Structure 1
Amino acid sequence: MNHMPKEKIGIVAVSRDCFPMTLSETRRKAVVKAYQEKYGEIYECPVCVENEIHMRQALADIRAAECNALVVYLGNFGPESSETLLIKEFEGPAMVVAAAEETGDNLIQGRGDAYCGMLNASYNLKLRNLKAYIPEYPVGTAEECADMIHEFCSIARAVIGLRNLKIISFGPRPQDFLACNAPIKQLYNLGVEIEENSELDLFEAFKNHAGDERIPQVVAEMEQELGAGNKKPEILTKLAQYELTLTDWVEGHKGSREFTAIAGKCWPAFQTQFGFVPCYVNSRLTKRGIPVSCEVDIYGALSEFIGTVISQDAVTLLDINNSVPADMYEKEIKGKYEYTLKDTFMGFHCGNTPSDKLSFCEMKYQLIMARSLPEEVTQGTLEGDIAPGNITFYRLQSTSDAKIRAYIAQGEVLPVATRSFGSIGVFAIPEMGRFYRHVLIEKNYPHHGAVAFGHFGKTLYEVFKYLGVPVEEIDFNQPKGMLYPAENPFA
């Protein structure tokens, strides 16, 4: 996937001056060997940090090696000040992991006490107001530490991406879509830049792309992608013109940032002025690693970007839209899958889901808009049932008073025909009914949720923690018997 951050991990071993430095060095080499055999590249810093002078030497070395993510490895107890100062001065995403003792036959000169050293490291991080990823159980063998470092890669990639992200938006949120209102204060807290534009600016740029010599090539790409689903060939030239408008805008406006996401306007005046709807183009950019949200949903675009970076795959943004009819549940779900009716719902948007995430796709018109507008100006949706498989429904959101919170719920798209329109699927999430009431409604989340195709809850949870979301504000679909704070225990 293009337009995505890449992490280069550097590992630095640390050693307490009253412990043998060779213990940390030997254990570091074993971790590097295990990682390289199983996962590939990792940079091994030759400097073992015992004091602040060593810390600066190690820092210079990993910077020279162009590492953008750091693993501090406690091969023994470790020097708590030097190791945390390394994290502070490195400034990029960092994790701390510690060595388990190796054998009961060598617990005198070969005992490292890193189990204890991890406690001191975490305490010193807190004293200095520093963030570092500490795995669920951060003490392990060389092979176990290699696995933990591999899990850190996705977390590091997301943090690197956000610190180099600009969200480009067009227009204010549509009337009666205050749910997508987005105080931007938390974007800056996360290290994200934002450029807010008028849709009039976008319309001018679109008009200036009329007759662009690249349009026929983009049309040909669209025709190839759509295949037999190309039901509206007459609209492709305009869609190609719009796609070039957005991609040129991104290149011309990303400034000092490497990565971009777009919060786009798509109604109410878009259709009548541009002459189409942008859904298909949104799906194509999202597929290439430039997520595009609908209805100027800035935090939706942010959430999509995080999921794209973590999954290294396309995502989508859907309305948590409608219940599954009881007769449909009885006929096609009950007895075949271990879900109640309240565990199911339909996720829908007009036509913004990438083609490779649909079981089938066709270029159509936007039925809801066509109820009040001429059909010809509502063409441009990519419609089809979302492909069955595991999903993670999630969102990172600022509240109206600029507090940050998030939710994560793992489930699946069922192989059940929706019999409906748009980009749509039958979703099943365990205990969705309770999650819907006591998280989505109770905590005033908007109707848009990001969807990653796979189970990525563990990584998303760690990313949100690393970004500073309070753990009490990271909600998930709690299992039966585990009550939400506002849930009636007598219900």
Structure 2
Amino acid sequence: MKKVRLGFAPTRRSIFSAPDAIKYANLTRERLTALGIEFVDITDINEEGLFYDELDREKIAEKFRQEKIDGLFFPHCNFGTEYVVARLAKELNVPVLLWGPRDERPDEKGIRLRDSQCGLFATGKVLRRFQVPFTYLTNCRLEDAEFEKGIKNFLAVCNVVKTFRHTRILQIAPRPFDFWSTMCNEGELLERFNIQLSPIPMPELTAAVRKAKEEKEEVAAVVKYCRETMNIKIKDEELESVAALKVAMKKLAESYGCNAIAIQCWNALQTEIGIMPCAANSLLNQEGIPVVCETDIHGAITSLLVEASTLDDTRSFFADWTVRHPDNENGELLQHCGPWPLSVAKEKPTIGYPLAFEHPGAVEAEAKHGDMTLCRFDGDNGEYSLLLGHAKGIEGPYTKGTYVWVEVENLNRLEEKLVYGPYIHHCVGIHKDVVPVLYEACKYINVKPDLYDPIEEEVKASIRGEIR
């Protein structure tokens, strides 16, 4: 599981109790430590270890930059100083979490020591003035389940934002001619999101495959792994080509500094090396390097976002929306030739032949059932959005390739969104509910969240930590 580092800047205001603010800052430190949260503290900045003075802001900003924090956490340990919070948040440009500990009842003289909730209202307004997006964790106690849930959701949001802002995709050859739906605007992705492409021609890949075969050792290790984990129904030399392709793609991704791959999986590749790339894609997907088909750049971005939302501890699968379930009005077949990672399968996968092509090298396996998130990043005409929602795996007829039948709340409503777009027939699924995390991350990456079911209030409640 990927570690996310928070900048911890508890804040107070001078007219309320400084000792009580210090007390709650220390209690919050203890709770974060108990939860295993990695954070950068400011106890070396001033004696109180609190953020309320403009003179401390530059020191804190410099420390947080050096420590490469992924998000900012501002516990309002009494009212808080909203303008220094906003200035620091604006300067560092990372996701921001606001929270304050639940205020106690006034004492017998009617005195209140903190007014933390009131300070949250003030800071929220000032952050809006500074045009700083932020996340709100409900005003709860440190021991409440809402606190743990909200903090962990926010860590995942930070990971999604960090991944999105540092994405470079290895593009292996141009899209297949017939796939006009997978075209993308490379310049716009760079200008708007800093998403970079590293395009290479097919001969560069085939040369890397030949080199991998010549060096043998890594290819032999992959062949051994395949024989241990999958049923093999292709020839020995074909399995060697699968392994060499996997090794070659991984080395090219590392060479170009890429965290995902989009490959023109047919049909030039088959002419050059005689196999489908699906099994090689599956092997890389299992290692956490998303590889998507038909040079679908937006699909690769989707895969990265979805896996980042789990702190990279769960593998996703890249699929086609294909046909409706023959017996379930809200059922749909998600399928592809065989690029899904092994951990998705509910049975031992087979390397064989795909549904629509004659060349070997596809994986066959039904995916596990259970609850899932389905997602698609896409855009056209200068507008980008993230389609997302829930599904569950169900029983359905056997089909070739990697596949799973899923049920959604209202397939007609989802189908309408897919047809009207900006989406296409590709999506990414994952066996986890990451809808709230992805929804919240959209505010930081300037992408519109698009829920295909009317669950927005439920999603917002989850992000602010509510337990339902």
Q: Compute the TM-score of the two structures, normalised by the length of structure 1.
A: 0.85
- Structure 1: gaps (5+ residues): 330-340, 371-377, 480-491
Partner of 1:474: 450
Partner of 1:388: 369
SS of 1:245 mapped into structure 2: helix
**CA contact 2:12–2:77 (8 Å) conserved in 1:** yes
**CA contact 1:31–1:145 (8 Å) conserved in 2:** no
Distance apart, 1:141 and its partner CA: 1.6
Partner of 1:48: 50
Partner of 1:424: 403
Distance apart, 1:210 and its partner CA: 3.3
1:422-450 deviation line (CA, Å, top 9, x unaligned): 1011101111222212x111224110001
Structure-2 change in CA distance of 1:280 and 1:108 (3 Å): farther
Distance apart, 1:146 and its partner CA: 4.1
SS of 1:142 mapped into structure 2: coil
Cα distance in structure 2, aligned partners of 1:182 and 1:107: 66
Cα distance in structure 2, aligned partners of 1:130 and 1:298: 29
SS of 2:356 mapped into structure 1: helix
Cα distance in structure 2, aligned partners of 1:199 and 1:154: 36
Alignment equivalent of 1:366, drawn from 354, 360, 366:
354
Q: Which amino acid aligns with 1:366?
A: P
1:302-451 equivalent positions in 2, closer than 5 A: 302-311=301-310, 312-325=313-326, 329=327, 341-360=328-347, 361-370=349-358, 378-399=359-380, 401-414=381-394, 416-437=395-416, 439-451=417-429
Partner of 1:140: 140
Q: Which runs of 4+ in 1 moved over 6 A?
A: none
**What percentage of aligned pairs have identical amino acids?**
21
1:231-275 deviation line (CA, Å, top 9, x unaligned): 224211111111111111112111xxxx61111110122212221
Structure-2 change in CA distance of 1:210 and 1:37 (3 Å): closer
1:175-254 equivalent positions in 2, closer than 5 A: 175-184=177-186, 185-214=188-217, 215-226=219-230, 229-234=231-236, 235-254=238-257
Structure-2 change in CA distance of 1:394 and 1:324 (3 Å): same
Cα distance in structure 2, aligned partners of 1:352 and 1:411: 20
Q: Which amino acid aligns with 2:324?
A: S
Partner of 2:71: 69
Instruction: Answer with 205-214 or 306-315: which moved more.
Output: 205-214
> Are 1:273 and 2:260 counterparts?
no
Structure-2 change in CA distance of 1:466 and 1:68 (3 Å): closer
Partner of 1:333: none
Cα distance in structure 1, aligned partners of 2:194 and 2:300: 15
**CA contact 2:330–2:408 (8 Å) conserved in 1:** yes
> Are 1:454 and 2:451 counterparts?
no
Cα distance in structure 1, aligned partners of 2:98 and 2:83: 14
Structure-2 change in CA distance of 1:476 and 1:28 (3 Å): farther
Cα distance in structure 1, aligned partners of 2:251 and 2:108: 63
Cα distance in structure 1, aligned partners of 2:111 and 2:195: 48
Partner of 1:288: 287
1:57-136 equivalent positions in 2, closer than 5 A: 57-63=59-65, 65-105=67-107, 108-135=110-137
Cα distance in structure 2, aligned partners of 1:233 and 1:70: 54
Aligned-CA RMSD value: 2.1
Cα distance in structure 1, aligned partners of 2:108 and 2:150: 25
Aligned residues: 442
Distance apart, 1:71 and its partner CA: 0.5
Structure-2 change in CA distance of 1:24 and 1:106 (3 Å): farther
- Structure 2: gaps (5+ residues): 44-48, 456-468
Instruction: Answer with 80-89 or 347-356: which moved more.
Output: 80-89
Distance apart, 1:307 and its partner CA: 1.1
Instruction: Answer with 56-65 or 417-426: which moved more.
Output: 56-65
Instruction: Answer with 259-268 or 55-64: which moved more.
Output: 55-64
Instruction: Answer with 30-39 or 385-394: which moved more.
Output: 30-39
Partner of 2:460: none
Q: Which amino acid aligns with 2:420?
A: E
